[in-house]
Amino acid sequence: MNSHLQSILLSGAVNAAPALVGWGFYKIGPGREVVGGTILETEAYTQDDAASHSFSGRTARNDYMFHEAGILYVYFTYGMHWCANIVTGTTGTGEAVLIRAIRPEHGLALMRSRRPGKSVSNLCSGPAKLCQALGITKEYNGESLYGSRILMKPPAGEVINIVATPRIGIKKDSHRLWRFVSV
């Protein structure tokens, strides 16, 4: 448990999404191998947001969105892609932050082997790409950020510039500037 991280997550998805840019996000594999890097892009989703999976209430698919802050909500979409969110806010509020991009820094060889033929700049530059590179699938749905399989590292202190833009790939509530990108 990391109380600094947890206080960010408890502040809600809209606050946590920009605050998470610059954090390190790593997966620790069964052989202790570490893959991941620095979060570059996030999006916020709340329950009163028509673009959110939690908008229409709790279902089997989005169940973990309604659990406690500090776990992953991993979902499958378009028949082949996994995407990972960090659950935020007070338990039961159905909020989460989608991790959209990271800078590949650790375990480059392993990530490239999972995404054959892709350049480093194309390894983790999308929510489904980074899940493929890190090997995140359904098994990580509900996974704690404070356990032995995920590691979150605070920003090292460098200045981080963030811009807010409309979210990608959604149709409803697209006016909200809830995508946060490191520039």
Partner DNA sequence: AGCCAGATATGCT
Partner DNA sequence: GCATATCTGGCTT
Looking at the Cβ atoms of 74 and 150, the one nearer to DNA is 74
Q: H or E element: which one contains 5?
A: helix 3-10
At its nearest, how many Å lie between DNA and the CB of residue 46?
A: 10
Taking contact as CB under 7 A, which single stretch among the options 1-9, 54-62, 142-150, 152-160 is the one that binds DNA?
Answer: 54-62
25, 75, 140, 180: which one binds DNA (CB under 7 A): 75
Q: Could you tell me if 150 and 129 are in contact, meaning their C-beta atoms sit under 8 angstroms apart?
A: no
Instruction: Provide the 10 A C-beta neighbour count for residue 39.
Output: 28
In our burial notation (b when 16+ CB lie closer than 10 A, e otherwise), range 16-36 reads: bbbbbbbbbbbbbeeeeeebb
Q: Is 12 in the site for DNA (CB under 7 A)?
A: no
Residues 95-124, interacting with DNA (CB under 7 A): 96, 98, 115, 117-118, 122
Smallest distance from the beta carbon of 151 to DNA, in angstroms?
A: 22
Nearest to 167 by CA among 47, 52, 22: 52
List Cα–Cα distances, 48 to 7, 21, 76, 93, 166, in angstroms: 22, 23, 22, 9, 17
- Rounded to whole angstroms, how far apart are CA atoms 7 and 9? 5
Candidate list 1, 4, 32, 78; residue touching DNA; CB under 7 A: 78
Nearer to DNA, 154 or 166 (CB): 166
Residues lying near DNA in the complex (CB under 7 A) are found at 43, 45, 51-54, 56, 59-62, 65, 73, 75-81, 83, 85, 96, 98, 115, 117-118, 122, 126-129, 167-171
